[in-house]
Amino acid sequence: MFVGCFDDEFAMESNAFFDDIKSGRFILVISTILLRELDRAPEHVQRVLVDLPAESIEIVEYADEIRLLRDAYLEAGVVGSQAKSDAEHVAYASVAEADFVVSWNFKHIVHFDRISGYQAVNMLNGYRTINIYSPRDVVDL
């Protein structure tokens, strides 16, 4: 999402999504894994988060419940072990009861087979289904 702000193909929708957050349309629920990923990103990418109003951000701390759900995604074959961190992003959102996940990751997150897999595992483990979208699906241009 954050890198998308600087990519020719994804910049318009990514920036519109973050503008929607700034305007109060969405609350950004972020995980500690995302914060670790951003720590390794260039400063201009980190600045996207820094420039958001504090009241528009909710940080979800890591818990064993997240690990268990992530591992359930892996065991069910929703994604392979190479996509462990992607599964963890979805687990964070599911455990936090976020309304939806927004991502440009069309291989391991925003993919019709993956979405139905994440939803099925959530239901089997007592979580509500999680909606997963690309920024194009949630912004008005």
**CATH assignment at residue 26:** 3.40.50
Domain holding 49, by residue range, is 3-138
Which tens digits make up the pLDDT trace of 25-67?
A: 999 999 999 999 999 999 999 999 999 999 999 999 999 999 9
Q: What span, in angstroms and rounded, lies between the C-alpha atoms of 94 and 90? A: 6
* Residue range 66-75: mean pLDDT, rounded: 98
Q: Are 103 and 89 in contact (CB under 8 A)?
A: yes
Overall domain count for the chain: 1
What is the predicted pLDDT for the residue at 62?
95
For residue 141, pLDDT over 90 is answered with no
Locus of tokens 């099925």: 120
* Residue range 65-82: mean pLDDT, rounded: 98
Please give the mean pLDDT across all residues of the chain.
96
Contacts of residue 34, defined as CB under 8 A and 6 or more positions apart, other chains included, come to 89, 92
pTM for the model stands at 0.94
